[in-house]
Amino acid sequence: MSSSTPQTVASAVDPLDATRLREDFPILSEEVNGHRLVYLDSAATSQRPLAVLDAEREFLTHANAAVHRGAHTLAAEATDLFEDARATVAGFVGAEAEHLVWTSGATMGLNLVAYSIGNASVGRGAPASAGLALRPGDEIVTTAIEHHANLIPWQELAARTGAVLRHIPARDDGTLDLDAASEIIGERTRIVAFTHVSNVLGIVNPVDELIALARRVGALTVMDACQSAPHLPLDLPALGVDLAVFSGHKMLGPYGVGGLYGRAEVLEAMPPFLTGGSMITTVTLDHAEYLAP
């Protein structure tokens, strides 16, 4: 993919039956200011089709129970549904179920990663976590076109650890300057965080080239897939990214649900961020040991 030519998410080639599709979305039959609603803000949040609304209601009215926290029949059914959903969503991005962490959304996923690395940086976690630790003078690289969710957590992590935050600039046409990127990503780079598809311009970034630059120096890659997961076929393991996040509410799902994909060895090395609940194997009043990711 040329870095000098803007790439945008292509529209479907096959014609769509808009009338039939509208029937799946009750809100699109409503009138706003005397006109039938036309909704063009899916990059911010999508509408939910009846199939999603019906599935949520079906679960809440017939299968609601504490997941992973009960031995009774209803709890077992709820847990199976919960884990079936994890496997389905993981498969949607080319991954295995154990490589997908449920989150409340992409912002939560990015903060989870940043705070976990922060915990590793102060010596929390297993010995494997030391490989994630940041030290003063280490560098975190993002781009000039990031959503706040993929910028502010890295600003905060840099402030907590003494790391230096650097940014890959964008050209006048909105594409990333890969010549500059190859100079910025260097031996002090520990993390490279970037969006797959711009939420403003729709430009598809050359993530394979960014990943290659990061691999060259052994840096961790973190990708914001919020705009690509709903629109592009994704195979995150094949892409080679270490961590990636996306949110359900931008891809026909409910609010408060998102995914964090991670390579197994990276997830294993990450110290816990949010603790408690059913995430432990052994606990005393003074110490806890944790489950696998």
The model's pLDDT over 227-256, given as tens digits with 9 standing for 90+, comes to 999 999 999 999 999 999 999 999 999 999
User: Within a domain: residue 126?
Assistant: yes
Q: What is the pLDDT of residues 194-229, one digit of tens each?
A: 999 999 899 999 999 999 999 999 999 999 999 999
User: Within a domain: residue 70?
Assistant: no
User: Within a domain: residue 265?
Assistant: yes
User: Within a domain: residue 85?
Assistant: no
Domain housing 156: 97-269
User: 163: domain CATH number?
Assistant: 3.40.640.10
User: Within a domain: residue 29?
Assistant: no
> What does pTM read for this prediction?
0.91
**Domains in the chain, number:** 1
The residue ranges of DSSP E strands in the chain, in sequence order, are: 31-32, 35-36, 100-103, 139-143, 164-168, 189-195, 220-224, 243-247, 258-262, 280-283, 288-290
User: Within a domain: residue 277?
Assistant: no
User: Within a domain: residue 3?
Assistant: no
pLDDT surpasses 90 at 177: yes
At 276 the three-state DSSP class reads coil
User: Within a domain: residue 35?
Assistant: no
CB atoms within 10 A of CB 293: 17
